[in-house]
Amino acid sequence: MFSGWNWVARCLYLFWNICSLGVSGGLVQSCGHIIPESPVLALGSNFTALCILNESCLDFGNIYANQIIWKIKNKVVPREQYREINRTVSSVTFNDTSSLATPLTCNVLADGQIEQNIYGITVTLGLPPEKPTNLSCIVHQLSKLTYPMTCTWNPGRHTFLDTHFKLKYRWPRENFPDCIPKDANNSCTISDVQFFVNLEVWVEVANALGKNESDRLVFDPIEIVKPLSPHNLSVNSGILPTVLKLSWENRISTAVMKLKFNIRYRIVNETNWMQVPSEDTASPRTSFSVQGLRPYTEYVFSIRCMKEDGVGYWSDWSEEKTGVTTEDKPSKGPSIWRIIDASSPASWTVHLMWKALEPFEANGVILRYEVTVRAKSPPFHPPWKYNVNTTSLILKLLNRTYEVTVIAHNRVGASPPSVLLIPTSNSKAPVKNIRTLPKDGKLWVGWTAPNSNVLKYVIEWCLLSNSSDCIMEWQNEPGNIQGTYLKGDIKPFKCYLITVYPLYADGQGSGQSVKAYLQQDRPSKGPTVQTKKVGKAEAVLTWNRLTVDEQNGFIRSYTIFYKTIDGNETAVSVDPSKTEYTLSSLTSDTLYTVRMMAYTDEGGRSGPDFTFTTQKFGRGEIEAIVVPVCLAFLLIVLLGVLFCFNKRDLIKKHIWPNVPDPSKSNIAQWSPQVPAKHNFNSKDQMYPEGSFTDVSVVEIEADDKKSFSEQDLKPFDLLKKEKSTSEGHSSGIGGSSCMSSPRQSVSDSDEGETTQNTSSTVQYSTVVLNGYRDQTPVQVFSRSESTQPLLDSEERSEDHGGGSDSTTQRQQYFKQNCGQDENNTDRPCFEIAKQIIPANEEDLAGFAQLQISGQSSEPLGLGLEKSTQEAALSDVLQTSTEGQTVRYETVEGNPPSVDEMPKSYLPQTVRQGGYMPQ
């Protein structure tokens, strides 16, 4: 729907354009116009415009004045400013044209739908010209006959319109053409003027909003002339060393104008000009002698001129010319000072120093210095004189008072003498209250004068630096002053040591010193802090003072900042004279970060961060813990020792039981002197290494006798029958001797079997060749502690020629000797030998042989444990109805298989050189 209305509007707009135009003679005629046409308006003024419609378009287009719309730059003017005069005329009024812009258009609405522009105008806004002010003219001399005149004025405010200026001039009875400015609107030049005739001059200005003119000037052009400066200036030396003569040429005729002059001069390389008094050069001239100059000094001169009566303008300064005055003798003596090395009490090393004279003091070239040294205390001697061309001299003088005189010589003459008194000591009154003050880029030094009359003061200073030596500088000041500026090259941010000495006619006072800065700044770096000692709740910090080159000013204070990793920073101020500080109230076993700032009057700078950790324990805490613990440990050890001492028998019984010493055994009383039937040197000796004896213990229960055949039990019956005859004949080993009473077996007693006695066991043992504790054995024997009589020694298996190598068994034998000689047959002695040679498996029935390993942890004298007994083989051999148990001790042999082994104890081991009770 909106698209359809858009097309309708476009068609109506086209129709209206066709109908609103009339074509006549090829010209397009508008339906209206605006009055005034393109006006020029003053800013801020009132303005009314009229839009008039043509009568020819009214009836055709049905357009009337009430349909007119005014616009400024396509912006609709409010209808409050409209006024409908009649049906063809509409006006619009603007109370202030400052808001008016261009273009201003008159528009209508055709049938109230389409806006059509009727007419438009351009509005120009501006200001009317102001009255020109400050009109002035000057006549410039370009040559001796050319004098153009230039007039300038103030054109006033900017009008925003095309504004035209004219310089008008005339004589009283003659007018001249106007002077139109070319490049600017505030000046204009008239090519030539005539002197000695009055000239009237004024300025006219005009634009679209009006015109104006300046005040009129009337003058003689000779009164406003600016002449050319004198030229060909020359400077010549005069008769006197303080005079220079100038000469020049004027470029204006005296018939036209009489001139006066102005002369200025300055020393070369200086900027300040001096002038000759104007009254000395107020008359026409072409030369002048300048007096009061410094000897042997180069000067620069320049000159200018103007009309003698002072009316008009000064010329420009002429080109500069230089001249040098002649030499004169030095005006003053050099400034002298000394440095005394009094390291030796008898003589001094005096370093004399003097300053070269300034050019205005030297008045020429200094050729040499004459130094005279006179003794002022006896013994007197002729003065020493030295001619040097340097500014220093080193003297070796005795410890006395001397007067030193220095005179400078040039080509003209000698300077006044400079005198320095070198006293024996600085015994005179010193100055007081020395102070410094930076002022106007210089360093001022002040002091309070002593009460005595001071001849002069010597101010001595040097730059303090770690990178260079202190180079001494000094200056002399009159004795009637109490302050002065240092005249050297004083640098900012540098420390100077300043010393003031009062000099008297008969001596000098001691120097008073002070340190000073021309200008201070923040330190170049901050102090580097370290820990000297760290405790549990405190830390001793130390640092080095900043060097004088790093301070850049006076250190007023230090500030220490410290914090934990996650804590707030704490600041502590420290006196600048300190180099150590103790932080207290710290937390133990904590990491701290600390830094330090140094402050001058201009600010501070921080040093690098430093970290440290406080100790976990304070001083003495560890000792308080360790000492009681050590004492308690010692007490416990002492109590343990006392307990062990009181229970030594019990401990000895459990740890190391008493083992009888074989060397003290009474076996020696019944054993034979020569071992019988034992040949240990054969290749099949029983103990090849003499170190170990393999022992097997066999228990044969009497109740199991029926399980064996008569042939198997026949050897045991023999033992049983002989029991009564062998009772009381056991050896002394194990607490029994030959023919002693029966004793219980060791193995039975260890197991706690109290019901079993020696009547139920048979024990055999073999004593090997090795001695006890490296003793040399002399006898080899066998014995039994059982109640059975000892068996005769049995021959070895090879003596009986039995068996092959695989079936050969070592022989068991037992020997009982009651201490009687073998040849004595009257005394009953029992010797039973039984050789056991298992020819077949039946011969081994009823015996159990266990071969003992060489690394058993228990001695043979102790009984085997019950558990070991229960783990033995289940076949038990019984020997009699009386419950006797027979134990056989066998030398190492081939053991039977597990199925064939009878019940027995575990094997026991006898170590090399050891002895085990049986």
Q: What is the mean pLDDT of residues 5-31?
A: 44
Which residue in this structure is represented by tokens 């914090």? 563
Candidate ranges 19-23, 450-454, 737-741, 898-902; pick with highest mean pLDDT:
450-454
Which of 108-122, 203-217, 420-434, 462-476 has the least mean pLDDT?
Answer: 108-122
Candidate ranges 8-17, 495-504, 716-725; pick with highest mean pLDDT:
495-504
Alpha helices (H) in 340-482, listed in sequence order: 359-362
- Indicate the residue type of 710: E
Give which of 544, 548, 556, 434 is closest to 496, Cα–Cα.
Answer: 548
Which of 194-203, 424-433, 457-466 has the least mean pLDDT?
Answer: 424-433
Residue 429 is predicted with a pLDDT of 87
- Please give the sequence-ordered ranges of beta strands (E in DSSP) within 268-346, or none if there are none: 274-275, 287-290, 298-307, 321-324, 336-341
Q: Helix count (H) and strand count (E) of the chain?
A: 10, 55
- The answer to whether residue 559 scores a pLDDT higher than 70 is yes
Residue 145 is predicted with a pLDDT of 85
SS (H, E, C) 607-644: CCCEEEECCCCCCCHHHHHHHHHHHHHHHHHHHHHHHH
Residue 647 is predicted with a pLDDT of 84
Digit-coded pLDDT (tens) for 746-773: 333 333 333 333 334 444 444 444 554 4
| Two tokens, residue 782 | 């066998």
Distance CA 449, CA 433 (A): 9
Cα of first residue to Cα of last residue in the chain, in angstroms, is: 138
Residue 112 is predicted with a pLDDT of 57
- The answer to whether residue 803 scores a pLDDT higher than 60 is no
More confident residue, 719 or 536: 536
- Please give the sequence-ordered ranges of beta strands (E in DSSP) within 321-417, or none if there are none: 321-324, 336-341, 347-354, 368-375, 384-388, 392-398, 402-409
Separation in Å, CA 872 to CA 623, 833, 879, 904: 62, 28, 18, 5
| Two tokens, residue 100 | 């008016």
Residue 691 is predicted with a pLDDT of 42
| Pairing mode of beta strands 570-574, 603-606 | unpaired
pLDDT band (50, 70, 90) for residue 59: low
pLDDT band (50, 70, 90) for residue 670: low
Whether the bond into 103 is cis, omega within 30 of 0: yes
Q: Which residues have a Cβ under 8 Å from the Cβ of 342 and sit 6 or more positions away?
A: 348, 399
- The answer to whether residue 597 scores a pLDDT higher than 80 is yes
Residue 686 is predicted with a pLDDT of 45
Q: How many CA atoms lie within 13 A of 713 on its CB side?
A: 21
SS3 65: helix
Q: Which residues have a Cβ under 8 Å from the Cβ of 580 and sit 6 or more positions away?
A: 532, 540, 541, 542, 543
Any idea what DSSP says for residue 667? G
Mean pLDDT of the chain: 75
pLDDT band (50, 70, 90) for residue 906: very low
pLDDT band (50, 70, 90) for residue 169: very high
Which of 126-140, 149-163, 225-239, 883-897 has the least mean pLDDT?
Answer: 883-897
Digit-coded pLDDT (tens) for 606-637: 999 999 999 988 777 778 888 889 999 999 99
Residue 91 is predicted with a pLDDT of 92
Burial-class residue 505 by CB neighbours within 10 Å (0-12, 13-18, 19+): exposed
Distance CA 553, CA 382 (A): 51
Put simply, whether the predicted model's pTM sits higher than 0.75 gets the answer: no
pLDDT band (50, 70, 90) for residue 262: very high
| Pairing mode of beta strands 124-126, 40-42 | parallel
Digit-coded pLDDT (tens) for 104-145: 999 887 665 678 888 899 999 999 999 999 999 999 999 888
Per DSSP, what are the bridge partners of residue 152?
A: 136, 187
| Two tokens, residue 832 | 């039973």
Which of 100-104, 111-115, 483-487, 835-839 has the least mean pLDDT?
Answer: 835-839
- The answer to whether residue 819 scores a pLDDT higher than 80 is no
What's the chain's length in residues? 918
Which residue in this structure is represented by tokens 């707009």? 13
In this structure, is the dihedral angle defined by the CA atoms of residues 489, 490, 493 and 498, taken in order, positive or negative?
positive
Q: What is the mean pLDDT of residues 432-451?
A: 92
Distance CA 162, CA 129 (A): 10
Candidate ranges 103-117, 479-493, 694-708; pick with highest mean pLDDT:
479-493
- DSSP per residue, 141-173: --SSS---EEEEEE--S--SS--EEEEEEEETT
Distance CA 447, CA 838 (A): 136
Which of left, alpha, beta for 548 (phi over 0: left; psi -120 to 50: alpha)?
A: alpha
- The answer to whether residue 153 scores a pLDDT higher than 50 is yes
More confident residue, 541 or 837: 541
More confident residue, 668 or 753: 668
Residue 234 is predicted with a pLDDT of 94
Any idea what DSSP says for residue 646? H
Distance CA 481, CA 479 (A): 6
Which of 96-100, 131-135, 809-813 has the least mean pLDDT?
Answer: 809-813
Residue 668 is predicted with a pLDDT of 54
Q: Which residues have a Cβ under 8 Å from the Cβ of 627 and sit 6 or more positions away?
A: none
- The answer to whether residue 28 scores a pLDDT higher than 50 is no
Distance CA 739, CA 233 (A): 166
- The answer to whether residue 253 scores a pLDDT higher than 90 is no
